[in-house]
Each structure stands twice: as C-alpha cells, then as structure tokens.
Amino acid sequence: MEALHSLSVTVAEIRSPAQGYLALVGSGLLKQLGACVGKYLLGKTCSIICDSKVAPLFANRVKRGLTSAGFQPTLITIPAGEKSKTLAQAGAICDQMIAAGLDRQSFVIGLGGGVIGDISGFVAAIYHRGIPHVQIPTTLLAMVDSSIGGKTGVNTRDGKNLIGALHHPSLVIDDVDVLKTLPRREFNQGFAEIIKHAIIADAKMFGTLQSFKASEALALQQLIRRNIEIKAAIVAKDEQDRTGERALLNFGHTVGHGIERAGGYQKFLHGEAVSLGIVAACAISIKRAGLPPDQRDKVVDLLQRFELPTRLPPKFPRKKIIDALKFDKKFERGKVRFVVTPRIGTARLSSDVTIDDIREAIHAL
C-alpha cells in the first residue's frame, strides 16, 4: 500500500468464514487503481461492468488506471436501472466476456451502484464456475451496504433477487470522490441504511449522525468505514443467513420491501422505502419490544434530517403493501420473522409480531 500513503485512505478488513477481503475507503483511489488492484488480483484480463449513466463519468478513468498497470480490461456497459438486473442480461454479459477471451484467470470489476454490484457479482460467481470480483461502488448505498456481504443476484418477473449466489468480492474500492456526481436524492437514500445500522448496532453512531455534515470528506470516509465494519461483523456471524443474526440487517425492510413493491418500484427509491419501513418497525417495537416512544421520535427526526420520507402520501394504496408482504422471504410458512429494536443500538428477531401489528403500523404511516 506504499503507493497509496500519500492519499487519505482507511482500510476496513472484512473477516469472513468463507473469504476475507479488504475495503479501501478514501479519496483519489481511482487514480491509483492499478496499484490497488495489482496488489490483490493475480489475473491480467478483466471485464469492467458498468451502467450507461456511470460509464461516461468514470469508465475511462478506471480503464486507463488498469491499462497503465498492465491489465487488459474489456468494458461492458448495460442500461442503467433495476430493469437490467435480469438473468438474460447476466447471460449477455457472459457472452461478451467469452467473446473477449476472458478465462478462469480473469476477474470482474463492478463499477456502479447496487444494481451493477449485484449483477457483476453474480456474473463473477457463475463465469467459469466462479472468478474473482472487485467492487467499485459509486453510490453511498452500495458503499455502506450492497458491496459488503457477498449477496449477488438478479430479479425475475416474480420478484427481486430471487436468483443469486453468495460470492464475496476479493476487494472493495470506495473512492468517495465519485459521490460528487450522485444526485442528492440518490445520495440521501444511502443514509437510510446507515441509520438502520445505527439503530441495530451502534448508538454512538446514531448520536454522531444527529450533527453529521456529509460535506466533510474525512467524516464521510470514517462513516462509510464504520458502516462497512458493522455490516461485515453481522454477516461474519451468520454468513448463510441461518441463525437469525444476518436477518437483523432486515430491520425496516419487511415493510420497506412491501412499499417498494406496492409502488411498482417507481414511487420510492429503495432507501426511501426503507426509511418508511424503519418508522413502521419503530412503531411495532414500541408495542412488542418496549422501545421508548421518545426514541422513535429521535429516529424520525434523524431520517428527516437526511430528507428521507417518514409518512406515506395519503392516497398511497396501503392495502397493496400488506398484499405485497406475502412475497417477502421473511414470511416463512405464514410465520412473521420481524426485527424489532428495544432501544437504539440493539435489535433482535421477534416471533410475537402479528400481521395485525404490521397492518396497524402501515396505516399509521
């Protein structure tokens, strides 16, 4: 890492039973990409998978950085947006990689938001039965959440992320400079996952967020790093999502996913739906886990501080949210596995929550 010493870089070490890896968080990292990647990846050929909005912004810089360090990258661009996260698109990417002569020694770089992270990771998992994956997230949400933990996949007509593989990245490179071009609404939605992390695992970070200034680059880097640590620590305890520990990351997501689906994935961004889901989960936590109501109020204030929604529009079809819940993976054989918080900084799974509790919380939104 000597070449990187002149830059402001912080390194989060992700220990995982399946595969340990590093997340480099800093400014100016894309300029040093060759050095970063060269240190951890053995192959020389790679694909850079990118979307049509991100490619004009950063793809050339990434390509140049790799080429100047002796790598041979092939750029593959797909249309921006959730609609691209399909099996057909993953197949088309694989076909382009085969045509470019990429083999078992090659690796895949995902340059983009969570959509690109998920589909490029999935391609890396299946290409030649698995080749290394490098995540270069370009949204805040992807930096603090989707690039960590190894969940990759695509959507089907029936729902999101129904096909996928657990395939950890070999390296994650978070260059905070790329966030400067992110639209404000996209930037803010990342804070829903950050606030979720604070509620379930870090009361001190919750306090920091109450006066946080995202314009302070170093503070933002530290915040990203802390969130990577929180997610990685939870994932490491329950990589396969079996013991219930990893499920804590779903705080706010049961109702959040229902809202996304009920809005046809158009009305709210993922983080915005999660924000509303967090408010509902706090209402349920007051009833079922003894969360003090003033702590719910603090959560609502914090979400609003980052311009996240905390009320549904009056005419939003609330019944559709309940209907959508049955598609949720957390509704196992009719039983609700709901994450509640008894106080900010901790969370647990509850089997006491009823569909009526959820319905009530949704109607109160």
Q: Residue 160 interacts with ligand NAD (CB under 6 A)?
A: yes
Q: Which of 136, 67, 145 is nearest to 108 (CA)?
A: 136
Per CB under 6 A, the list member of 63, 151, 225, 296 interacting with ligand NAD is 151
Rounded Cα distance, 78 and 93, in Å: 9
What is the distance between the alpha carbons of residues 86 and 88, in angstroms, rounded to a whole number?
Answer: 5
By the rule CB under 6 A, 318 interacts with ligand NAD: no
Report the site for ligand NAD in 164-223 (rule: CB under 6 A): 178, 181-182, 186
**Interacting span for ligand NAD (CB under 6 A) from 99-107, 140-148, 200-208, 298-306:** 140-148
Contacts of 76 (CB under 8 A, 6+ apart): 47, 48, 49, 50, 93, 96, 97
Nearest CB to ligand NAD, comparing residues 85 and 261: 85
Q: Which of 65, 73, 113, 256 binds ligand NAD (CB under 6 A)?
A: 113
Cα atoms in the 13 Å half-sphere on the side-chain side of 356 = 3
Residues in the chain: 365
Whole-number Cα distances in Å, 334 to 133, 318, 328:
37, 20, 11
Is 329 a binder of ligand NAD (CB under 6 A)?
no
Q: Which residue minimizes CB distance to ligand NAD?
A: 114
- The correct pick among 12, 23, 142, 176 for binding ligand NAD (CB under 6 A) is 142
Q: Which residue, 253 or 296, is less far from ligand NAD as judged by CB?
A: 253
- Helix, strand or coil, per DSSP, at residue 248: helix
For 31, counting Cβ atoms within 10 Å of its Cβ (0-12 exposed, 13-18 middle, 19+ buried), the class is middle
- Say how many residues touch ligand NAD, by CB under 6 A: 29
Residues numbered 264 to 283 that lie near ligand NAD (CB under 6 A) are 270
Does 123 interact with ligand NAD (rule: CB under 6 A)?
A: no
Min dist CB 359 to ligand NAD, Å, is 25
Pair of tokens at residue 177: 């400079």
Residues 6+ apart with CB under 8 A from 265: 82
Q: In the complex with ligand NAD, which residue's Cβ is closer, 31 or 288?
A: 31
Q: Tell me the closest approach of the beta carbon of residue 221 to ligand NAD, in angstroms.
A: 16
Which one of 30, 48, 66, 118 is in contact with ligand NAD (CB under 6 A)?
Answer: 118
Check binding of 82 to ligand NAD (CB under 6 A): yes
b/e burial code for range 279-289 (CB count within 10 A of at least 16 → b): bbbbbbbbebb
Contact stretch for ligand NAD (CB under 6 A) within 34-42, 112-120, 214-222, 313-321: 112-120
**Nearest-approach distance from CB 242 to ligand NAD, in angstroms:** 16
How near is the Cβ of 151 to ligand NAD at its closest, in Å? 4
Q: What is the rounded distance in angstroms from the CA atom of residue 218 to the CA atom of residue 215? A: 9
Compare residues 138 and 254 and give the one whose CB is closer to ligand NAD: 138
Burial readout 168-204 (b: 16 or more C-beta within 10 A, e: otherwise)? bbbbbbbbbebbeebeeebbbbbbbbbbbbbbbbbee
- Distance separating alpha carbons of residues 109 and 136, to the nearest angstrom: 7
Of positions 12, 14, 37, 141, contacts ligand NAD by CB under 6 A: 141
CA angle 360–361–364, rounded 5-degree value = 90
Asked if 53 is part of the footprint of ligand NAD (rule: CB under 6 A), the reply reads yes
In the bound state with ligand NAD, the residue whose beta carbon lies nearer, of 210 and 240, is: 240
Q: Which residues 6+ apart lie within 8 Å of 201 measured at CB? A: 230, 233, 234, 248, 345, 346, 347
Q: Which residues bind ligand NAD (CB under 6 A)?
A: 51, 53-54, 57, 80-82, 85, 112-116, 118, 138-139, 141-142, 145-146, 149, 151, 160-161, 178, 181-182, 186, 270
